[in-house]
Amino acid sequence: MFGLPVVASTSATKVYSGPLMPAIKSALPGIEPIDRRSMNVWEDDKAREAVLATGRRRLIVSGLLSEACVTFAVLSALSAGLEVYVVGDACGGLTTASHELALSRMQAAGARLTSWIQVLLEMQRDWTRHETYDGARAIVESHAGGYGIGLAYARDMIHPA
């Protein structure tokens, strides 16, 4: 919706982890994930080159598994001099404690932690940005709990059916 380049990857789909989750695949139409053998995206030439080919020096990262795939990629990207934001609530770990420890490790190394709603609202910046308004609002209404309910209520009060 915001025109950001997206690089998706999977890890050893045929022998270990299976294909990209259907919910993620449907949210990323037209994006073909790069299947890698290493847990670390940065150690896979094709995946690393795809990230670098975007020309971006600031990365937004999420994924499974916080303790391995996410942490290893983030630490490597930081070592390569990139600015990295980890969307902590769009990552998953084995346990709450191990996920939190992984986030702490990445933050201590220089990664900036954020949430999916912070990323979305920072990208939208202003509800009068018409080109992304409908899409951003639909995401908030569908996934942002009470905030989404409040937006739907406000819309219905301002523009009753």
> Is 69 designated active site?
yes
Question: What's the per-residue H, E or C state across 83-103?
Answer: EEEEEEEEEECCCHHHHHHHH
- Other C-beta atoms within 10 Å of 28: how many? 13
d(Cα 39, Cα 11) in Å, to the nearest integer?
6
- Which one, of 75, 67, 73, lies nearest residue 110 by Cα? 75
The tokens describing 21, both together, are: 């989750």
Active-site residue (options: 7, 20, 69, 75) = 69
First to last CA, the chain: 27
Q: Which residues participate in catalysis according to the annotation?
A: 69
